[in-house]
Structure 1
Amino acid sequence: MTTFSEAIQTLGNTQGSLPVRISNQLIRLLSEQMYSSPIKAIEELVVNAYDADANECRIGFIHQDLREDSAIVIFDNGSGMDYTGLEHLWFVGESPKTFNSRTPKHNRRVIGKFGIGKLATCAIANKITYLTSHENGLFLVSCDFRDFESSTSGGASEAVALEVRQVSDLEELRSSDELDRVCKAIRTSTDELTSDSYESWTICVLESLKKQSENLKRKRLMWVIKTAMPLKMNFEVFVDGERIERTKEDFHPIVEFPIVDIAAERLDIMNKNLPEGHTWRVADNHFVSDLFPNGVTGEVLLTKKSLKAGKSVDIGRSHGFFVFVRERLVNQDDELFGLHALSHATFNYFRADVFVDDLHSDITASREGIEHGERRKAISDLLLALFNVARQRHKEYENNLEIEEKRKKEHERSFVSHRLVAQPIADTIAVATSEEAGTDADEGWFFLKDIDPSSRNQIVEHLYTREKRSYKFTYGQLGPSERMVKFDPERETFMLNEDHEVVMAHSDDSRARNLLEDIVASEVMLEVYLREAGINPFVIGEVLERRDFLLRSLAQAGVYSLDSLAQLLTDARDDEHDLEIAVVAAARALGFNAKHISGSGQPDGLARFNDYGKGEVKITLEAKSSKRTPSLGSFDFAGLLEHKQQSEAVGCLLVAPSYPGELKESKNSDKIPDTAVECRARENKISCWTIEDLVKVIRATESHQITAVQVLDIVLNRFTPKEVKEAVEELLQTDDMKTYYQEILNALRRLSAPGVLKQSPRTVHHISTAMTLESELTEVTDKKVRNALVNLSNASKGMVRMSGNRIIFSGDIEEFARRVASLTGEDVTPRKLGNFRKNES
């Protein structure tokens, strides 16, 4: 297929040739370093259109892949070029534009100054062709960057002659199919170009596209042009027919001020940083100095929502510093303008638009930065001063919100600020939504639940707008290897993992549970804050993984929770060392003074119990781990008996996952002969417990008030696995005392209701009657109720006391519930109300 540059070479007549000398090394430098961004190449051509006094510039794409007929087309209706103009165009490193030059038609301050902008196109294309209409005629020239070679010294070799042709016959132009294809890309036609619609114009066509051109994203291109170019009523830019409008974004500012507003606070400090003999002053709402005679102006704002939120990385940014020189942005991808990292708690909500025309002479050739020097340093100091003032005003704004919150009534007040939880979660979810394309699997959220993409925007908006919110804490079995907590932002729920060591260790006590819930909430927010600060998600995951391992280790280092201890026993079934330690710890939980011994010829542990009146009682502790049912020989009953005798113990508590020869329940089980284990257990008086038996007893120790005496009775009188299992079941048949205490508390609440027993004091019989009517407990007697009430009154720390069978209250029933929560296990309301937790107030 014939390309545009090839097709037009037959049009018109040769007017001459332009000798252009460029080294291939310079072309590589321009395309690989100075103008490595494909967007910069297009932007430079838009700058040329602006400098040519164009009213409009159109950008069109033909395919935009690497096929032969792909092309990028840029059109403008500026002044056009004749032969002399094309000569000036191809002056490499020279430009007729001076520092203060202005355009003749619109009196625009000229942006370009280096004369190498067109070479930026070599970053994305091998060929560039100009077709331009001027009052002196219609001219065209084409250049293939591959024709340039370097000399042995690295400089330019022979000059390349670019043929300039002039077209006089417009019909010849109208008949070009290739030109028609180019015109369609920019939403025009050959008839319109050759009519009186335009006095002059220029079409630039980029062909033989390079791989880099595939990275040219239309949305990103439109953002750069909208942000970086001086779009005005007399200069419009279109991309594939869509007009780029420079409208002020909907920022919802909470703090806003012109930059000169900081003079009263920072002028003295700013002047100390200027070179000797230079000072800042304010004139006509500009900061002016000898370095900046034309002045510096602009404005600063801070927003309620993060300016990073919702911005796709393919589009651009809205936060940070925007430095404009002659209305053109010079730091598109450098939100800090070279400054060190600033506080993300403010910077993500911060924007400063600063206009500094006096930096024009300091702009680097690529126009992507400012050269280092006195002016650059002075502007950097000014920007830092702007940010520091903005941060201070941000703090003042937040302090005022806190003062307003303090004036509210207790049940209406938020003690946990919206800015500490909901807002940063919304910010980070919104930012992650725009940046997650291509994110590695190991860079996902550590604690936050995956969010359905279709509902993300709704969730983010809900988090931003509804400032009064409460969070729910629930518990569930997520798996031993899963995180300590999963947070669901849509349901505003923290799900604590009951299989996690830390949760298991602290969830069986109501007060410890409240602290645990505070900790998991802060863990979730730690991840959010780290993301908000711009830390790489992979790094965050690595740190939180180590932290999680530490927390698990700390939870195992000192076990208090009976649930944790029960889980330790279960997990240690195939680890002899861990099972020995778990059995010794279980003996302590049952009321024994236990010690881990282990070693050759010795028991795994010793448990002592001082039975007052009878003296000290001692039993040996033995643990036999196994992945499967242990063999008979692995128990070594003779060795266990020897351990017992050497230790002068009265009994032995043996724990194993299971025992060989255990039989299922049978109607005629009493006729089945004893197994070898049962025979040897009775013969040597070894009490054979399964891990499951011991776990059941441990879990019920507090709720059923199991004592060392009861366990010792089983150890000394029940020996076979079946006998032990039956004894454990008998032990657990009594009512759960935690439930018993809770039912007494519920009965007291009912009897404390308005209009109930107005004059009569509450008695034990009142309570037992109310419990009989309402509860499903199996054993409700006045005697048992009174004993339980005595325990509750002791735990109430003086709020309730017993006088015979009378119950004397000295306070509110709910405060009584708080004081006895360790016995009832009830989740009670806090003394100081808040609304962070659902149902807390």
Structure 2
Amino acid sequence: MNLDTAGTKIDDIEVTISHRIIELFSAGLYSSPNKAFEELICNSYDAFASKVAVYVPSDLTVEGAYIWVCDNGEGLTPSELKALWKIGESSKRNNNERDNRRLQIGQFGIGKLATYILARKLTYISKKENKYILATMDYNLIKEDNKSLFIAERQVSEEEAKTLLSYYIQNDMLSFSLFDKGAEESWTVSLMTELKPKAGEIKIGRLKWILSTALPLNPGFQLEFNGALIESSKIKVPIMKKWIIGKDDLTAEKITGVECREETDKYGNQIYFVDMPNLSGINGEFVLYEDSLVEGKSSELGRSHGIFLSIRERLINLDDPLLGMEAFSHGAFNRTRIIINADELDNNLTSTREAVKDSQPFTQLKEYIKKKFNNEVKKYYFDQQIQIEQKRSISSRMAQTSYLTSKKPIYDFVQNYYSSQIVNPILIEKLDEEDKDELLNLYEKDLETGEQVIENIAWDFNTIDAPLAKLNLKNRTLVINKAHPYVANYIDANSNMIPLESMIITEVLTEAHLYEIGLDEDIVNGIIRRRDRTLRQLALSDRQGIPAVAMFLKDSLDNPSGLEDAIERVLTAIGFEVTPIGGNNEPDGKAEAFLGYDDNGNPRGYSLTYDAKSTSKKSIAAGTAHLSGLKRHQEKYHADYCMEVAIDYQGSKDDESAISNESKREHVTMITAKDLIKLLLMVTPKQLGLDKIRDLFENCFSPNEVHQWIDNVEKMDVETPPYYELVDVIYQLQKTDTEAPVTEVVRRELNRKLGTKYSTKNVTEWLNLLVNLVPGCVSVDGKYVGVQASATIIKLRIHKAISEIPLDMQPMYNEIFSQSEGV
């Protein structure tokens, strides 16, 4: 049964709208694919639904994919369905009766247009008063010169409605019934079909976080996502202190014209409010937590810290923790969650309901928030830090000097860990609760014996981004990470490992000392990570730029050990973090791409093992390539891909050759040295980040497939990045700001300077490409960026680097830098 022809037509619905208007409203105001869900669910909320179900398939790109939102709200009559499609009009606020039942969210009558960016068709199917009606908006029919169009309003029988929806909604997707015994008296299904590419941008993890955070969630409104109940987002971090707005409110009492009051709700609970001269009825709380709320994989999905402003039970500032204000004290603010309910700001909302217009009431609210945070929350936080510091320093001074080197710091570490004063050490492994008595007794005994806190040293490969080492206090074993750049760089420098082992032991004991002297864990972690970054930079201090690395690879083709080194340098220059391995039955090395986390908190990065095949001949045969051995290397080191590099392969241009067939069968990416050099030299002009290069390892295996992929990249047109302007902005910020520039600030200032709308992703990608082109001039450390010379000098070095590139590749570089400010 077809949605477009089912049932009997009962009338036409006139929709007055132009193509220009819908593009402005949907693509402009509602540019996020998640907005369609927010708006449809808010419609369900305003329809007094007690249950709402959302369905999103796991793959939105397959043909015939669809999305729906279903609720058991009041449903729609034919006249109400007509009213629904009156663009820019809403009757939800016309009387107080609806507000008395449930505060209505919608007021502009444009929210439904958010679906335009997701789907070409939006169908409403609704039951009310035992009648079933439906209407489909086909957005394809909206033309440039349209002033209005007509939607067929049709009535269907219960059996027809049941048949129609059975294709889209299975029984296990709903916790309430639409038909037969026990069916809801009224309901509405909003069905999006013929999905657009924008729908593919929906991230399930991010969407679920939005639904759990931004939308009205209360006992009378149950929301389900793909058959599972959505619950309000919860924080598991212990609370340090809570301040109720309007209750013993020291800040409000000191502001002229601000008053506090309390009321008793219908359940007998006391509710506290703050009234300002231009804004009344503010309530909520300030909550300070014991640990930061901005760390961990879950923070990638959405924030837990900062200000959460709700108006009529809906969160307004989903992605703005500061309501547009300047940054607060990071240490305390990152541990704070500020909940504000201010329904009177409803008249000051923008049409997207994602922000509040500048106004006197809004200004007064922000001033109150800022003062309460600084005068009460931040002061309490720092007072507590001082007390903790004093307590720890007293215990430190009482320690006997003879134990200060290793035993006493480790014993204190064990005590503090089990008293929850230490949560996330870096170089010392976390302890199990079941080992508490054993370890406390064991290390207390050590104070009186000659036993050592470290009895064994082991060497093992962890990931490149893992710490230098880990000390297991139960078995007293220090495991050194051979994949760490500092260890990998110096492990073969001397046959005597004692100096390297001693340095690493000192690092581990330094962490224990830092805890022992009473530093806050955030500070300890910061120091250890800063030391780790320094060691990594020292290990990579001889890193070369792209032109020099390309020449080094070219000169190493007939040298077995030299080729291994050259490939390591090439992969490093491209942006990978590389661990050389080598040895019998081992890969030459492993390269890892760190790309952060996706919306579900899973790593986006990937890794590959690599091998070099040098020969005095012009090419190597399939039997010499040993591809099955390369696959074993990949499995042993848990890599996603594997790669082999040689000067050339016999039959490299023939897709049916032995080398081509075997590479495709084994899924080994086989690349010639010439193509690898070309790939390296195209990294900057073609903006090849590691995420784009992943496609090469995912889909190309034979030498000819790899060659074609690289040729296609060379022909690809890319946007000209403002490299020189980017350097100018960073240099100026570094000169004038007291804090190191962060990527987001750099992006903002660059856009302000150029009048552009570049994204943070764009800026981050360009910075990484500059790091690879001129190492030592530009640095990227997490969210912080910096330059190590004046902007003029860096531009000169870029110009010099271009002049060292082979002549046939120089035009690409000259093109992307010629449109920036000249040197």
TM-score scaled to structure 2, two decimals?
A: 0.51
Trace 1:114-263 onto structure 2 (pairs within 5 A).
114-135=108-129, 137-151=131-145, 157-167=146-156, 169-174=157-162, 176=163, 178-184=164-170, 187-188=173-174, 192-193=178-179, 197-246=183-232, 248-260=234-246, 263=249
1:320 paired with 2:298, answer no
The superposition leaves residues 645-669 of structure 1 with CA deviations (integer Å, 9 ceiling, x where unpaired) of xxxxxxxxxxxxxxxxxxxxxxxxx
CA distance in 2, matches of 1:86, 1:135: 14
- AA aligned to 2:49 is A
1:29 paired with 2:24, answer yes
The superposition leaves residues 67-109 of structure 1 with CA deviations (integer Å, 9 ceiling, x where unpaired) of 33211111111111112211221111121122874527x7111
1:298 paired with 2:284, answer yes
Kept in 1: contact 2:176–2:183 (CA 8 A): no
Provide the secondary structure at the position in 2 that maps to 1:312: helix
1:48 paired with 2:35, answer no
Alpha-carbon offset, residue 386 of structure 1: 3.2
- AA aligned to 2:388 is L
CA distance in 1, matches of 2:176, 2:101: 30
1:486 paired with 2:472, answer no
CA distance in 1, matches of 2:371, 2:435: 35
Alpha-carbon offset, residue 8 of structure 1: 2.7
2:260 to 279, 282, 287: 282
Kept in 1: contact 2:312–2:346 (CA 8 A): yes
Paired residues in the alignment total 493
* Greater C-alpha Rg: 1
The residue number in structure 1 matching 2:65 is 70
1:391 paired with 2:383, answer no
CA distance in 2, matches of 1:550, 1:493: 25
1:401 paired with 2:379, answer no
Provide the secondary structure at the position in 2 that maps to 1:10: coil
Relative to 1, partners in 2 of residues 1:529 and 1:28: Cα closer, same or farther, differing over 3 Å? farther
The superposition leaves residues 123-176 of structure 1 with CA deviations (integer Å, 9 ceiling, x where unpaired) of 21111000011227321110121221224xxxxx23111111122x323334x2
- AA aligned to 2:370 is L
The superposition leaves residues 469-497 of structure 1 with CA deviations (integer Å, 9 ceiling, x where unpaired) of 9997999999xxx99x9354777889996
The superposition leaves residues 690-723 of structure 1 with CA deviations (integer Å, 9 ceiling, x where unpaired) of xxxxxxxxxxxxxxxxxxxxxxxxxxxxxxxxxx
TM-score scaled to structure 1, two decimals?
A: 0.50
CA distance in 2, matches of 1:129, 1:372: 37
Kept in 2: contact 1:217–1:314 (CA 8 A): no
Relative to 1, partners in 2 of residues 1:516 and 1:164: Cα closer, same or farther, differing over 3 Å? same
1:308 to 279, 287, 294: 294
CA distance in 1, matches of 2:308, 2:488: 50
Relative to 1, partners in 2 of residues 1:80 and 1:396: Cα closer, same or farther, differing over 3 Å? same
The residue number in structure 1 matching 2:54 is 59
Kept in 2: contact 1:114–1:365 (CA 8 A): yes
- AA aligned to 2:195 is L
Alpha-carbon offset, residue 354 of structure 1: 1.2
The superposition leaves residues 492-541 of structure 1 with CA deviations (integer Å, 9 ceiling, x where unpaired) of 8899969879x99xx999xx999986998699999x979999xxx9x999
- AA aligned to 2:342 is V
Alpha-carbon offset, residue 209 of structure 1: 1.1
Kept in 1: contact 2:459–2:479 (CA 8 A): no
Alpha-carbon offset, residue 300 of structure 1: 1.4
Kept in 1: contact 2:11–2:154 (CA 8 A): yes
Provide the secondary structure at the position in 1 that maps to 2:232: coil
Relative to 1, partners in 2 of residues 1:414 and 1:115: Cα closer, same or farther, differing over 3 Å? farther
Provide the secondary structure at the position in 1 that maps to 2:169: helix
Provide the secondary structure at the position in 1 that maps to 2:246: helix
Trace 1:674-685 onto structure 2 (pairs within 5 A).
none
Provide the secondary structure at the position in 1 that maps to 2:173: coil
Alpha-carbon offset, residue 461 of structure 1: 13
Provide the secondary structure at the position in 1 that maps to 2:161: helix
CA distance in 1, matches of 2:150, 2:531: 57
Provide the secondary structure at the position in 1 that maps to 2:80: helix
CA distance in 2, matches of 1:139, 1:181: 17
Kept in 2: contact 1:475–1:498 (CA 8 A): no
Trace 1:295-694 onto structure 2 (pairs within 5 A).
295-313=281-299, 315-388=301-374, 389-406=376-393, 408=395, 409-410=398-399, 486-488=468-470
Kept in 1: contact 2:252–2:259 (CA 8 A): no
Alpha-carbon offset, residue 242 of structure 1: 0.8
- AA aligned to 1:302 is L
Provide the secondary structure at the position in 2 that maps to 1:143: strand
Alpha-carbon offset, residue 196 of structure 1: 5.5
1:110 paired with 2:104, answer yes
Provide the secondary structure at the position in 2 that maps to 1:338: coil
Kept in 2: contact 1:228–1:329 (CA 8 A): yes
Kept in 2: contact 1:129–1:143 (CA 8 A): yes
Kept in 2: contact 1:60–1:186 (CA 8 A): no
CA-based RMSD: 5.1
Relative to 1, partners in 2 of residues 1:337 and 1:57: Cα closer, same or farther, differing over 3 Å? same
Kept in 1: contact 2:16–2:86 (CA 8 A): no
The residue number in structure 2 matching 1:97 is 92
- AA aligned to 1:92 is I
CA distance in 2, matches of 1:100, 1:418: 64
The superposition leaves residues 280-317 of structure 1 with CA deviations (integer Å, 9 ceiling, x where unpaired) of 22122211023212x11111112223222344256322
Of stretches 256-265 and 237-246 in structure 1, the one that deviates more from structure 2 is 256-265
Unaligned runs of 5+ in 1: 152-156, 272-278, 430-447, 450-455, 553-841
Kept in 2: contact 1:101–1:109 (CA 8 A): no
The superposition leaves residues 19-76 of structure 1 with CA deviations (integer Å, 9 ceiling, x where unpaired) of 2132223333333332222222111111000100111101123564233321111111
Relative to 1, partners in 2 of residues 1:402 and 1:339: Cα closer, same or farther, differing over 3 Å? same
CA distance in 2, matches of 1:520, 1:413: 9
CA distance in 1, matches of 2:417, 2:328: 21
Relative to 1, partners in 2 of residues 1:457 and 1:310: Cα closer, same or farther, differing over 3 Å? farther
The residue number in structure 2 matching 1:588 is none
Provide the secondary structure at the position in 1 that maps to 2:168: helix
Of stretches 352-361 and 375-384 in structure 1, the one that deviates more from structure 2 is 375-384
The residue number in structure 1 matching 2:77 is 82
Provide the secondary structure at the position in 2 that maps to 1:231: coil
Kept in 2: contact 1:307–1:348 (CA 8 A): yes
CA distance in 2, matches of 1:261, 1:494: 54
- AA aligned to 1:138 is Y
